[in-house]
Amino acid sequence: MARLVPAVLRAADILEIFLGDDVTLSASEIGRRLDLPRSTAHELLTTLVERHYLVRRSGEETTYRLGPKLLELGSRYQQRLEFAAEADAVARQVAAECRETVHVAVLDGIEVVYVSKVDSTHSVRLISEVGRRLPAHCTAVGKVLLAGLPDAELSARLKGHRLVALTDNSITSRTVLRQQLARVRDTGVAHERSESNPDAGCVAAPVVDAAGEWVAGMSISIPTSRHSDEAWPRWEKLVREGAAELTRRLGGRPVSS
């Protein structure tokens, strides 16, 4: 088990005192409740004030209250919860239409992380799970997210990384990858056939936030046994519509085809 850092634990203890009914507390009261030496309490409180986790109020006795940084973090956490709920809702709608597996994923470095999944209703379905990571260049949703990066950031993320192959169809050439990403930017949709799984393919479209950033991708994953030239345009249309709906729920403007 990894070692816990005592100073961090004490700082967390200070912040968690304010989960009670107290809006403001003095340094002496905080030190007394946590059994902290006066010098230790002073150093921790000064650090938390400096980083805006606490606000100091001067008076007859100096007191402390929660600072704006915690509101910022809480707001970001709430946004994540809202995003996950909206992603699940829209993914269910798309899955009901296509009866295939629908994912929503975000980019972490050069990997995609799946944050939402709705299973296919067919007896033969893909095995995947929320939280799973895959190399972005091997997936349709990953190509969408890489295509949404500015060129300088894309280069920085790829620097020093080899494009690993998960199947015989995986892209291992940066030139080929950049060519495909350029096409994704032009068309607003990405495809992948047996590049991450020899038995499946995907089609994906970008989810855009209010700032215009491609913050997520939605994909429909289909076993190769159900692939057909006639079905792909329908899947493409459905994933575009789903990504556009999730985009609107996030206050963004859908990508035009």
pLDDT in tens, 19-65: 887 788 999 999 999 999 999 999 999 999 999 999 998 877 889 99
| Same domain (yes/no): 116, 58 | no
pLDDT, tens digit, 9 for 90 and up, residues 93-149: 999 888 889 999 999 999 999 888 888 776 444 556 777 889 999 999 999 999 999
End-to-end CA distance of the chain: 51
Phi, psi (deg, nearest 5) at residue 216: -155, 170
Where residue 229 sits, what CATH number does that domain have? 3.30.450.40
| Same domain (yes/no): 57, 160 | no
Residue labelled with tokens 């970001």: 76
Rg over alpha carbons for the chain, rounded to the nearest Å, is 24
- Choose between 124 and 214: higher pLDDT: 214
122 domain residue, yes or no: yes
Residue labelled with tokens 């634990």: 9
| Same domain (yes/no): 215, 115 | yes
177: which residues sit within 8 A by CB, 6+ positions away? 137, 143, 146, 163, 171
This prediction has a pTM of 0.71
| Same domain (yes/no): 34, 139 | no
How many other C-beta atoms can be found within 10 angstroms of the C-beta atom of residue 37? 9
* pLDDT recorded at residue 3: 84
- Of 66, 87, 103, which residue sits at a domain end? 66
| Same domain (yes/no): 116, 236 | yes
Half-sphere exposure of 1 toward its Cβ, with a 13 Å CA cutoff? 3
Could you tell me the residue range of the domain that residue 17 belongs to?
6-66
Q: Which two tokens stand for residue 141?
A: 């949703």
Phi, psi (deg, nearest 5) at residue 194: 60, 35
Where residue 58 sits, what CATH number does that domain have? 1.10.10.10
255 domain residue, yes or no: no
* pLDDT recorded at residue 181: 96
| Same domain (yes/no): 86, 53 | no
With a cut of 70, say whether residue 85 has pLDDT above it: yes
* pLDDT recorded at residue 128: 64
| Same domain (yes/no): 166, 192 | yes
| 142-169 core/surface letters (b: 16 or more CB in 10 A; e: else) | bbbbbbbbeeeebeeebeeeebeebeee
18 domain residue, yes or no: yes
* pLDDT recorded at residue 241: 95
| Same domain (yes/no): 87, 186 | yes
Q: How far is CA 250 from CA 75, 161, 198, in A?
A: 15, 32, 34
* pLDDT recorded at residue 206: 96
Given a contact cutoff of 8 angstroms between Cβ atoms, the answer to whether 207 and 219 are in contact is no
* pLDDT recorded at residue 183: 95
| Same domain (yes/no): 10, 29 | yes
| Same domain (yes/no): 49, 97 | no
- Of 31, 46, 66, which residue sits at a domain end? 66
Q: How many domains does the chain have?
A: 2
| Same domain (yes/no): 29, 104 | no
